């Protein structure tokens, strides 16, 4: 069965161009041209990944991502002409897993799609357990004190990597390289956004974390005895 991708953009030529790129790469493509239609198509088709334009009329891409994130950790790639770091951070904080800046090439888009899908699929490795955290990477499932917690693809992969090496400190660039396959220096601060959202989901008190700890001036680590 082909991987289903929902492409959302208010410019028909962009949707058609992206559809052409992806169908040539053997993906199944579903399209939407505004935020409301995107949410409807998501509910109807349950795609494996969403390519979502930021600047949609009425209900913009950020709002669409926020609504989808209320019920799903489906990978989201934002399409945007915004290049400022603060704009990228805002998008990542709402749940986007990656960015493609307009204009973009077919090769770049396909590479980003495949990278995000790889992260979402996860490695078929043994269950990871650290303190109150129990992760099944094959099923992409996390339990915190026995309760299931829904994570985005990037959040899951960051936590999985940290749980693989409890107590070890990693820089932001090392974390990016581990989960994306190469370091994106321009996205270094995006790690902070993902960690912030991860803490909001798994920590009893996100402002005083007990699981994912900051090592000031260096990066992050997972406490050896979390909980």
> What phi and psi values does residue 6 have, to the nearest 5 degrees?
-95, 120
pLDDT tens string 152-169: 888 998 999 899 888 889
The pLDDT of residue 226? 58
> What pLDDT shows up at residue 183?
46
| φ, ψ for residue 124, nearest 5 deg | -85, 70
Low-confidence ranges of the chain (pLDDT < 50): 123-124, 183, 186
Dist CA 69 CA 74 (whole Å): 8
For tokens 């991708």, what's the residue?
5
Q: Give 3-state DSSP helix, strand, coil % of the chain, rounded to 5.
A: 40, 20, 35
Q: Which helix (H) or strand (E) holds 115?
A: helix 106-121
Burial status of residue 191 (CB atoms within 10 A of its CB: 0-12, 13-18, 19 or more): buried
128-222 CATH choice from 1.10.10.60, 1.10.10.10, 3.40.630.30, 2.40.50.140: 1.10.10.10
Which is nearest to 222 in space by CA: 178, 149, 179, 158?
Answer: 158
Helices 153-164/190-202 angle, 10° precision: 80
Matching CATH number, 4-121, of 3.40.50.2300, 2.20.25.90, 3.30.450.20, 2.40.10.120: 3.40.50.2300
């Amino acid at each position: 069965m082909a991987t289903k991708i929902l492409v959302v953009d208010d410019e028909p030529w962009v949707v058609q161009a992206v559809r052409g790129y992806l169908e040539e790469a053997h993906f199944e493509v579903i399209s939407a041209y505004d935020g409301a239609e995107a949410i409807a198509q998501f509910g109807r088709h349950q795609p494996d990944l969403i390519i979502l334009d930021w600047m949609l009329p009425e209900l913009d891409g950020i709002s669409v991502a926020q609504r989808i994130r209320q019920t799903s950790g489906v990978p989201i790639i934002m399409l945007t002409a915004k290049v400022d770091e603060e704009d990228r951070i805002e998008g990542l904080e709402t749940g986007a897993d990656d960015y493609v800046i307009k204009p973009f090439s077919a090769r770049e888009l396909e590479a980003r799609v495949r990278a995000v899908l790889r992260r979402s699929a996860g490695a078929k490795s043994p269950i990871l357990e650290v303190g109150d955290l129990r992760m099944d990477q094959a099923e992409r499932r996390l339990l915190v004190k026995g309760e299931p917690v829904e994570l985005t693809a990037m959040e899951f992969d960051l936590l999985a990597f940290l749980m693989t090496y409890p107590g070890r400190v990693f820089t932001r660039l090392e974390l990016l390289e581990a989960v994306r396959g190469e370091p994106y220096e321009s996205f270094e601060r995006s790690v902070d956004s993902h960690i912030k959202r991860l803490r909001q989901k798994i920590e009893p008190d996100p402002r005083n974390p007990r699981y994912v700890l900051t090592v000031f001036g260096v990066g992050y680590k997972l406490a050896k005895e979390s909980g």
